[in-house]
Amino acid sequence: MYKKFRTISICLFGVFLMFSCIKKHGRKETEENLKTAMEQSLNHQPQTDTSTTKFNVLEVSFYEGPKVYTCEFKVNLKQKMPDRLVDTTGYMKAEISKDFNTVSRIY
């Protein structure tokens, strides 16, 4: 009986140890992943002409919720017009899923 208890407790401890060692994202890594996800979303929209319009995410501030990251981005837009180059900076707010695949713009 004692041998079974010892074997089960060692297995449970091993499983606990295995799941406690899962690496969590650092703040810098999370920021970079959020910036990349937003840039991908903005630059690969079907209605965006990528030959004339380029988005560049400069900064991000975010709140980590239970299912999504709620983010505010500082975004630079460069757009080539026939007679000039438009260069402007503004803010966008979006929700990004924890796996960084789904981006839902709020404004």
Nearest to 76, CA basis, from 37, 39, 29 = 39
pLDDT at position 1, please?
63
Could you tell me if residue 76 is inside a domain? yes
Could you tell me if residue 1 is inside a domain? no
Across 1-107, the runs of DSSP E, i.e. the strands, are 53-64, 68-80, 85-97, 103-105
Q: pTM of this prediction?
A: 0.76
Q: 95: number of CA atoms within 13 Å, CB side? A: 7
- The range of the structural domain enclosing residue 85 comes to 23-105
Over the stretch 16-67, which tens digit does the pLDDT of each residue have? Answer: 766 666 666 789 999 999 999 999 999 998 888 888 999 999 999 999 999 9
pLDDT at position 49, please?
82
**Number of domains present in the structure of the chain:** 1
pLDDT at 14 over 80: no
Cα(78)–Cα(68) distance, integer angstroms: 29
Could you tell me if residue 55 is inside a domain? yes
pLDDT at position 23, please?
62
pLDDT at position 91, please?
97
Q: What is the DSSP string of 68-98?
A: EEEEEEEEEEEEE-SS-EEEEEEEEEEEEET
